[in-house]
Amino acid sequence: MPQKEVKSIDAVAELKAKADNEPIATFLGMELEELSPGYARVSIEVLPQYQNFNGMTFGGIIMAVADQSFAYGSNSLNFPSVASQFNLHFIAGAKVGDQLIAECRVVKSGRRVGISEMTVTNQDGKLIAKATGTTIPTG
């Protein structure tokens, strides 16, 4: 098995072990559903307290679940890494009771930079948001 593949498998195991005790994920109710080298899927249920003054889901909640999938996906290949850029486009709204699913796919994982693409959909597959992110390996 190539060294990079072994490192990825080790990173995935370490991230899965940490997922249950992550404070922000626990606070918001996010769940790591799937993690493999270069891919992560995280979900969150939209709760009434996630609504803004207009009765719409606060954009920060949508961004948070996208960012969480980004963190797991990007670190699954090059651990540890930190985000240096994150860009999100809101495409549709989410309603109370919706299950939001954020998926991260790593496009490039290099020694100096990583690039990932994220999508956020609801339980019916409706596209809610698309994002891109850049990471810098720190390890």
Coil, strand or helix: which one is 122?
A: coil
CB 78 within 8 A of CB 114: yes
Using the CB atoms, write b or e for 97-131: b if 16+ within 10 Å. Answer: ebebbbbbebeebeeeebebebbbbbeeeeebbbb
Write out pLDDT tens, residues 110-137: 999 999 999 999 999 999 999 999 999 9
Report yes or no on whether pTM surpasses 0.85: yes
Residue 131: C-alpha distances to residues 50, 85, 121 (Å): 20, 10, 12
At 40-65, the pLDDT tens digits run: 999 999 999 999 999 999 999 999 99
Show the domains of the chain with their CATH numbers.
Answer: 3-137 (3.10.129.10)
